[in-house]
Chain A
Amino acid sequence: MFETIIGIEVHCELKTQSKMFSSAPVSFGQPPNSQAHVIDLAMPGTLPSVNKKAVEMAIRVCHALHMDIDSLLRFDRKNYYYPDLPKGFQITQQYHPIGKNGYLDIEVNGQKIHINIEQLHLEEDTAKLTHDDDCTLIDYNRAGIPLIEIVTQPQFHNSQEVCAYLEALRMILIYTDVSDAIMAQGSMRCDINISLRPEGSQGYGEKVEIKNLNSLANVQKAIDFEIQRQTELLLNHCSVPRQTRRFDEKTQKTIAMRDKELLADYRYYPEPNILPVRLPWQWIESIKDHLPVLPAQRRDKYIHEYKLSVKEADTLLLNKDLSDFYDQVVKQCIYYDTVCHWLIGDVLSYLHKNHLHIHDIFEVQDFAKLMNMTGQGIVSSKQTKQVLSLMILEKKDPLTIMQKHHIQQMNDENVLIELIEELLDNHFQLVQDYHQGKTNLLGYFVGQVMKKTQGQANPQKTNQLLKQLLEKRKT
């Protein structure tokens, strides 16, 4: 009956060393107002200096989203009075965004959707306001942190598509190494523009903007609620007023913040303190050349070249550190599935439990060495687990650990044959039973060999030798 049209604006804080226009550090969890330069406080007479690293990061994301890059960098002023805006204006890129006309392909229910990205621009974050009962506190630590804003065309139709896009975009931001992109912490924020129109109609309905969505779950709930709310309004022949709303977690509803009927006039005009900067094409291209391999390409490689399952590939990709680590390990180890199995299994759960990063516990080289032995069957699965724990504990390479703890597989056939012969001699009756059809006794014999060798016998080899020797005694 009605078609939903949604456009998305994502704000993402860049993890630069210093702020967009000042030398104050960008660091989180610091005491309020300890990370503010006179420029961030808009002391009269201060002037902005553009952060080159922030521009580089913006270009990185532009490349990842296949955008046209404007090599003439220009900024504008967005004027309004609010306590979170120290200068009384925000420096942004209203007229000439650094990136235009990009796209991102996403997958929803196994179907590919081509999302058109309208623009990407650079700007600065505002100060953080904390409203108390009788006062408002201002923290300028956030003021001036570099932001990129990424705007899509109005082309989404439901919350599922929106969430898939946000998740894919989040991965891009993480894999281009420009942001932590954690919605709950505000380093990635999303505003939703949503309107309904009669199915088949070409125009757009009155737009409602939903702000301050701090998780994917809330994005989904807010959109679903809003679609229902607007549908009911329209069915009752009421018009949908143009509004800015927010999602209220307590009531699980969207609530009107302010009417947008009187559109604010931000009196945008070109920033006179930053002259247009011509970015060299060579620089822009070299940023492209150094772009990390993006999640879509990695996924493709994992599935088609390394023959991982879709689930394994996606699990690896969820953690960029892990994916990076995997990519490095498989340069030195061809047992792709073994490496993946151990990384997303025991290792990942250990990392989660202890809030650690992969680089905190393993060197690529050491991990690859162990995986090679595991893959070749030199160490058993049980031993691998044991060596991994000891490697974390003692911070040594696997060979040293195995030597020290006498962990190695008994691969010497002569020794194994001797052991097996002795075992079979001592269990004459059982050997007879085996030959009369109780073949499941094989497991018992293997267990006995393992017991005798304290688990060091190579299980495959033991198995194989036992079969041979039992066969020999058949007559």
Chain B
Amino acid sequence: MNVYSIEELHHGFKTGQILPENYYQEIWHEAQYQQKRLNAFALMTFDKAQQDLKHAQFQNILSGIPYVLKDNFNTKGIYTTASSRMLADYLPVYNAHIVDLLEKAECCLIGKASMDELGMGTMNMTALTGPVLNPWNIQRVAGGSSGGCAALVGSGVVPFAIGSDTGDSIRRPAGFCGIVGMKPTWGLISRYGLIPYAASLDTVGAMTRSVKDMSIVLENIAGYDEHDMTSCTKKVPSYYQSLSSDVSHLKIAVIKNVYERLADSRIKEKFMNCVSIFKTLGATIHEVEFPDTYLQALSPVYQIIANGEATSQHACLDGIKYGLQKQGENIDDMIIRTRSQGFHQSIQQRFILGSLALKQENQEKMFRKAQQVRRLIVNLIQDLYRHYDIILTPNGEGIAPFLDEAKQVEYTLVDDFLIVANLAGLPSLTLPCGFVDHMPVAIHIMGRCFEEQTVLNCAYALEKSLSFSQQYCQKEIQHV
């Protein structure tokens, strides 16, 4: 099938050079093929997409554009499982705010994408529908938790997908699948209707194959929503129109003690290549240190806050109102049975850890302490942003691991650095920057709160120089 950017599709639909019906037939075949290969869909909604297409006028840029949603966005009348047994039969009666926005923009939903159960995972190995495979090599994982989205954009089925990011859930799979992933500022996009993981960290974001497409999608999904009290009332800038590859005025900080930790020298080389490109483009580059004690604190702080919030966030899943229901001798027994059978064991472990951190006797030394350290980390980052516009790091330690190794992968401090964006609510973007072992490698670009434009421009400039825009992989590549 032909793979297009959003701009190309829009132009094609509008001028008649691309016939929507034919194009959607192509998508349908491709989607079925890729589903067999990657197992990335939780649910295909092709009939709905064709219905939606009938209403598309192709006037605005997203009209008639196909997309997928991570399966943790509520879609009225369409199963929404968050890839959990608990919600296997959950049929929402309302739409997430972002779904309403995209419907209004006349986008066509072709499916709900697989994810790690409730967004809790980094390899997309815990989904109810099984692991999601990497389009560049099906022996490797797509990454998580927005793995289905990444695989479907990375295999060229759709030009964009909507995901969510609590620790690195958009950026990690985007890096593994060689696409652009963006976690905007916390509060830029409404979370209403997103089945949560942890409220203070959850961020709605997008995945595309180019920075330009990212800017188009972002400006269409950002903005205040009266149903989300944490959404920002600021006017949304037109990221697409303001896109510029001039980075000569930018001051960029490269976190030395993060990139130097990279174990694979080939990945380090790709990263340094990006840094020198920025230098060539006229940006000011400084190497700075992010104190190791803070780096080491990132993961524990994240675990405690995320799981603490998650444990109450998911207390609504008790088998009483909707979702899985297991009979019991009394109400407590019923709730225990339902939750024991409804959640994967790893999820239950997270809930237990979260509850422990919130217990009265532990709260001061665990949850509250974690919140205090979070504040210190935010202060430190804000200090850095007093001097720099952008912070650059590798997008994690390595390439997508093989399926059978994924569970044993140990996370390093390089991986953990992505969490900073969630703890501090910062906009950050993952951009492909090369290949190692025929697998994509990515760089992580992080900016000041609500300065998405700077992040996008920075990525745009790099993307132009690297020419990794619009890459995708539909078939196994025979490597010699």
Q: Which residues of A contact B (CB under 8 A)?
A: 38, 41-50, 77, 79, 81-83, 86-89, 136, 138, 265, 267, 269, 272-275
- B74–A45 touching, CB < 8 Å: yes
- A47–B195 touching, CB < 8 Å: no
- Minimum Cβ distance to chain A for residue B372 (Å): 13
Interface residue from B72, B82, B318, B359 paired with A88 (Cβ < 8 Å) = B318
- A49–B226 touching, CB < 8 Å: yes
Rounded to whole angstroms, the CA-CA distance of A77 and B199 in the bound complex is 13
Rounded to whole angstroms, the CA-CA distance of A77 and B310 in the bound complex is 12
- Known A-B contacts A47-B192, A79-B358, A81-B315; A269 and B74 likewise in contact (beta carbons under 8 Å): no
Chain B residues within 8 Å of A274, by CB = 229-230
Interface residue from B229, B311, B367 paired with A273 (Cβ < 8 Å) = B229
Chain B residues within 8 Å of A50, by CB = 229
Interface residues of chain B: helix, strand, loop or mixed (majority): loop
Chain B residues within 8 Å of A136, by CB = 331
Q: Number of residue pairs across A and B with beta carbons under 8 Å? A: 98
- A46–B358 touching, CB < 8 Å: no
Chain B residues within 8 Å of A88, by CB = 312, 314-318
Interface residue from A41, A81, A86, A275 paired with B332 (Cβ < 8 Å) = A81
- Minimum Cβ distance to chain B for residue A56 (Å): 17
Interface residue from B82, B198, B226, B312 paired with A79 (Cβ < 8 Å) = B312
- Known A-B contacts A83-B320, A88-B312, A269-B308; A49 and B363 likewise in contact (beta carbons under 8 Å): no
Stretch of B28-36, B92-100, B166-174, B274-282 on the interface side: B92-100
- Known A-B contacts A77-B312, A79-B312, A272-B309; A45 and B195 likewise in contact (beta carbons under 8 Å): yes
- B331–A83 touching, CB < 8 Å: yes
Chain A residues within 8 Å of B318, by CB = 81, 83, 88
- Minimum Cβ distance to chain A for residue B165 (Å): 16
- A44–B74 touching, CB < 8 Å: yes
Chain A residues within 8 Å of B191, by CB = 45, 47
- B94–A38 touching, CB < 8 Å: yes
Rounded to whole angstroms, the CA-CA distance of A41 and B317 in the bound complex is 11
- Known A-B contacts A89-B315, A273-B230; A44 and B200 likewise in contact (beta carbons under 8 Å): no
- A267–B355 touching, CB < 8 Å: yes
- Total interface residues on B, CB under 8 Å, equals 45
Rounded to whole angstroms, the CA-CA distance of A361 and B237 in the bound complex is 59
Chain A residues within 8 Å of B308, by CB = 269
- Minimum Cβ distance to chain A for residue B94 (Å): 5
- A49–B227 touching, CB < 8 Å: yes
Rounded to whole angstroms, the CA-CA distance of A77 and B355 in the bound complex is 13
Chain A residues within 8 Å of B322, by CB = 41, 43
- B312–A45 touching, CB < 8 Å: no
Residues in B83-134 with C-beta less than 8 Å from chain A:
87, 90, 92-94, 96
- Minimum Cβ distance to chain A for residue B162 (Å): 13
Rounded to whole angstroms, the CA-CA distance of A265 and B358 in the bound complex is 9
Chain B residues within 8 Å of A87, by CB = 315-316
Nearest CB in chain B to that of A140: its residue: B321
Residues in B170-228 with C-beta less than 8 Å from chain A:
191-196, 198-200, 226-228
Residues in B305-336 with C-beta less than 8 Å from chain A:
308-309, 311-312, 314-318, 320-322, 331-332, 335
Q: Which residues of B contact A (CB under 8 A)?
A: 72-74, 82, 87, 90, 92-94, 96, 191-196, 198-200, 226-230, 308-309, 311-312, 314-318, 320-322, 331-332, 335, 355, 358-360, 363, 367
Chain A residues within 8 Å of B314, by CB = 88
Chain A residues within 8 Å of B331, by CB = 82-83, 136
- Known A-B contacts A87-B316, A88-B316; A45 and B199 likewise in contact (beta carbons under 8 Å): no
Chain A residues within 8 Å of B93, by CB = 38, 43
Rounded to whole angstroms, the CA-CA distance of A322 and B31 in the bound complex is 72
Nearest CB in chain A to that of B228: its residue: A47
Chain A residues within 8 Å of B360, by CB = 265, 267
Given pairs A79-B358, A265-B360, 12 additional interface contacts (CB within 8 A): A42-B321, A44-B196, A46-B193, A47-B227, A49-B227, A81-B332, A88-B314, A88-B316, A88-B317, A138-B320, A274-B229, A274-B230
For B195, B199, B321, the residue with the greatest tally of chain A CB atoms inside 10 Å of its CB is: B321
- B320–A44 touching, CB < 8 Å: no
- Known A-B contacts A38-B93, A44-B87, A265-B359; A86 and B226 likewise in contact (beta carbons under 8 Å): no
- A275–B195 touching, CB < 8 Å: no
- Minimum Cβ distance to chain A for residue B373 (Å): 16
- A89–B312 touching, CB < 8 Å: yes
Rounded to whole angstroms, the CA-CA distance of A136 and B320 in the bound complex is 11
For A45, A50, A81, A269, the residue with the greatest tally of chain B CB atoms inside 10 Å of its CB is: A45
22 contacts between A and B (CB under 8 A): A41-B321, A44-B196, A45-B73, A45-B92, A45-B96, A45-B191, A46-B192, A47-B192, A47-B227, A50-B229, A79-B311, A79-B315, A86-B321, A87-B315, A88-B312, A88-B316, A265-B359, A267-B358, A273-B199, A273-B229, A273-B230, A274-B229
- Known A-B contacts A89-B312, A138-B320; A272 and B229 likewise in contact (beta carbons under 8 Å): no
- A45–B332 touching, CB < 8 Å: no
- A272–B87 touching, CB < 8 Å: no
Chain B residues within 8 Å of A272, by CB = 198-200, 309
Query: Which 6 pairs show the lowest CB-CB distances between chains A and B?
Result: A88-B315, A272-B199, A267-B358, A42-B316, A272-B200, A45-B193
Rounded to whole angstroms, the CA-CA distance of A50 and B229 in the bound complex is 8
- Known A-B contacts A81-B318, A88-B315, A267-B360; A44 and B82 likewise in contact (beta carbons under 8 Å): yes
Chain B residues within 8 Å of A45, by CB = 72-74, 92, 96, 191-196
- Known A-B contacts A43-B74, A46-B192; A86 and B316 likewise in contact (beta carbons under 8 Å): yes
Rounded to whole angstroms, the CA-CA distance of A273 and B360 in the bound complex is 21
- Minimum Cβ distance to chain B for residue A90 (Å): 10
- A269–B367 touching, CB < 8 Å: yes
Chain A residues within 8 Å of B199, by CB = 272-273
- B192–A44 touching, CB < 8 Å: no
For A44, A45, A48, A79, the residue with the greatest tally of chain B CB atoms inside 10 Å of its CB is: A44
Chain B residues within 8 Å of A267, by CB = 312, 355, 358-360, 363
Nearest CB in chain A to that of B198: its residue: A272
Chain A residues within 8 Å of B198, by CB = 272
